[in-house]
Amino acid sequence: AQSVTQLDSQVPVFEEAPVELRCNYSSSVSVYLFWYVQYPNQGLQLLLKYLSGSTLVKGINGFEAEFNKSQTSFHLRKPSVHISDTAEYFCAVSDRSGGGADGLTFGKGTHLIIQP
């Protein structure tokens, strides 16, 4: 079984400032890691994923995340946020043994609030 902890329920940031959204996971097996974004009244959109290889992963909209196996973390970062980045962000994992077909386990989400 896996679990995902998003350490901050809400993160306020000034526009053009950098941001980091924290994610830690627990699993007895190897996992794939994902970050999704959810804008108000919409479904989820994939920002980026870590499958293997380089631990620094780049995604859409200028976001990147770093996988740290020893700390079981997958923190999301952006060097300069824009007002349009205001949304709910979810970290998720899936079991590698499913070959990418498994259902996702999500964290509770972090609400990113961009202040002008």
Partner 1 sequence: DAGVTQSPTHLIKTRGQQVTLRCSPKSGHDTVSWYQQALGQGPQFIFQYYEEEERQRGNFPDRFSGHQFPNYSSELNVNALLLGDSALYLCASSRDRAYEQYFGPGTRLTVT
Residues of this chain that interact with partner 1 (CB under 8 A) are: 4, 6, 32, 34, 36, 41-46, 49, 51, 90, 92, 94, 98-109
Residue 88: C-alpha distances to residues 1, 70, 78, 79 (Å)? 24, 27, 15, 18
CB 39 within 8 A of CB 112: no
Q: Kindly state the smallest distance separating residue 82's Cβ from partner 1, in Å.
A: 23
Report residue 68: phi and psi, to 5°.
-125, 105
Q: Kindly state the smallest distance separating residue 76's Cβ from partner 1, in Å.
A: 14
Q: Which of 33, 26, 38 is nearest to 48 (CA)?
A: 33
Q: Kindly state the smallest distance separating residue 73's Cβ from partner 1, in Å.
A: 17
Q: Which residue has the tokens 């989400």?
A: 109
Shorter beta-carbon distance to partner 1: residue 15 or 44 = 44
Q: Kindly state the smallest distance separating residue 103's Cβ from partner 1, in Å.
A: 3
Shorter beta-carbon distance to partner 1: residue 15 or 111 = 111
